[in-house]
Structures are given as C-alpha cells and as structure tokens.
Structure 1
Amino acid sequence: MSIDSLNWKILKLLQSHARLSNAEIGRRVGISSPAVSERIKKMEDLGVIQDYHTSVSPFEAGYQLKALITLRAFMGKLKPFLEKVKTYDEVVNCYRITGNENIVMEVVLKNQKHLEAFIDQLIVYGETKTQIVLSRVVKNNPIKPLK
C-alpha cells in the first residue's frame, strides 16, 4: 500500500490527536466518516498504524527519576537478557542497538536507591552505563511523508 496524501493527512491528525473522532477527521481532511474509518482500518491491517496508547507522566505518577541505561552484554548473556528485560516493570522502552553496547533502555525509577537496586539486577548480564534524563526536548515527533 502506498500512503497517499489523504492518508498522510489522517496520520498527521492521529499522531497529534489520537482521540479525534472519525467524523472530526473527515471534516478536517474533506471526506466522510465511513471513508476515514475504512482508510484507518486498512492502515491498521497493513501495520502502518501500530497501536494507540495513553501517555502517562512518570513524575506525576510518583517516579522521581527517568534514565537511559545502556548494556554491553557479556558473552552468552544477550539472549537470556532479551527475555528477562520483558519482565522488568522499570523498563518503558528497550532497543537492541549497534555499536559498543547491545541494548539501550528507557527506565523510570522511584529514587536513587531504586536505580542502584535495578543496576544490581542488570550487571549479571553485562556492563552498564546510566544517564539521568533531565528533560525531554522532542516529544513524539510525528512521522512525516518521505521526500
């Protein structure tokens, strides 16, 4: 499926306002609500639209720290870690990456003691490096059409 300009308009609206009704999207892009629904369904079926979610502020939910932790896995420890990381409540995003490290995780933590305890769980899998997030500069920047 090629994503035409109308689908890109719909995607742009959904990326910035996921709770807009199909009727409102239709008004903004100039098509009927059923046509919007059909286009969205097709993009969902093809995997263009992957999911919908609610963004929660970790700080307002009581967490004091957000950090990026990289892991350079020990020989033979990467595959076990890839299964284990899915069980950690602290991990909100995890990526397998290229370079000296194998993994980068975005984590939320209650405090420094929680960070220390979490790192203690990780070091059996490899060497870690931690960066504390001070602020977010770009938030959920929408995917745009290729040029």
Structure 2
Amino acid sequence: MKIDELNWKILKCLQNNARMSNAEIGRQVGITSPAVSERIKKMEDAEIIQGYTTFISPFEVGYQLKALITLRAFMGMLKPFLEKVKTYDEVVNCYRITGNENIVMEVVLKNQKHLESFIDQLISFGETKTQIVLSHVVKHSEIKALE
C-alpha cells in the first residue's frame, strides 16, 4: 500500500493521540470524517497501523525499577529462551539483536530483590548484563515519512 502525504498526516495525528476522533483528524488534514475512517481502515488492513494501546507508568502503579537486560544465550538455549520469555510478566519489550548479546529486554520490577530473583531465572539460559533505567529521554517518538 502506498502511503501518500495525506495518510502520513493521519498517521501523525494518531501517533500524537490515538483517541483523536475521525472528525478532528479530518479537520486537521482537510478531509471528511468518513474519508479519514476509510483511510485508517485501509492502513489497518495493510498492517501499517498495527493496533492502539494505552501506556501505563510503571512507577505510578507501584514498580520501583525499570531495567534493560541483555542476554547472551548459551549454545542451544536461544530457542527455549524465545519461548520462555513470552511468559515473564516482568518483560514489557524484548528484542532479538545482533552483536555479542542475542536478546535485549525492557523489564519492570518491584524492587532490587525482585530484580535478583528475575536474573536468577535468566541465568540458566545464558549470561546477563543489567542496566537500570534512570529516566526516559525520548518516549514513543513519532515515525516519520521516508524522504
């Protein structure tokens, strides 16, 4: 599917506020609400728009730590880990990456004891490295049109 300039304007609106009404988007981009709805539906069908979500502050709901944990899987342990990681409640994002490590995870944890126990679960799969997140500098930055 071709993403024209109008579709990029719609995507910009939705990335800034996924709850924006089609009527408001239409006013901002200069087309009718039904036309906005039709374009959004086509982008959803083409999987350009892959869903809508609510971002929750882990700190406001009781988590004290956010961390990035990399895993360098032991020989033969990557595939089992790729299945197991889907079951961990602590993991909010997990990426398979290139380089010395195989995996990077973003995790939320109740406290240091919880971190220790979580790492204890991971070490059977490989070597881990942990970085504690101090602050969020860029948050859900908008994806822009290619030039």
Question: TM-score, normalised to structure 2's length?
Answer: 0.99
Query: Is the counterpart of residue 139 in structure 1 residue 143 in structure 2?
Result: no
Residue aligning to 1:99: 99
Residue aligning to 2:2: 2
Give unmatched runs, 5+ long, in structure 1. none
Q: How far, CA to CA, are the matches of 1:15 and 1:36 in structure 2?
A: 15
Query: Is the counterpart of residue 83 in structure 1 residue 83 in structure 2?
Result: yes
Q: CA deviation at 1:27?
A: 0.7
Residue aligning to 1:18: 18
Q: How far, CA to CA, are the matches of 1:51 and 1:76 in structure 2?
A: 34
1:23-34 alignment runs, 5 A limit: 23-34=23-34
Give unmatched runs, 5+ long, in structure 2. none
Q: How far, CA to CA, are the matches of 1:135 and 1:44 in structure 2?
A: 32
Q: CA deviation at 1:2?
A: 1.1
Q: CA deviation at 1:81?
A: 0.2
The alignment partner of 2:69 has SS state of strand
The alignment partner of 2:108 has SS state of strand
Runs of 4+ in 1 over 6 A off after TM superposition: none
Residue aligning to 1:57: 57
Question: TM-score, normalised to structure 1's length?
Answer: 0.99
1:100-132 C-alpha deviation (Å, 9 max, x unpaired)? 000000000000000000000000000000000
Q: How far, CA to CA, are the matches of 1:134 and 1:97 in structure 2?
A: 23
Residue aligning to 1:44: 44
1:39-75 C-alpha deviation (Å, 9 max, x unpaired)? 0000000010011000000000100000000000000
Q: How far, CA to CA, are the matches of 1:43 and 1:32 in structure 2?
A: 17
Q: How far, CA to CA, are the matches of 1:61 and 1:50 in structure 2?
A: 26
- Report the residue type matching 1:92 in the other structure: V
How large is the Cα RMSD of the aligned pairs?
Answer: 0.3
Q: CA deviation at 1:146?
A: 0.3
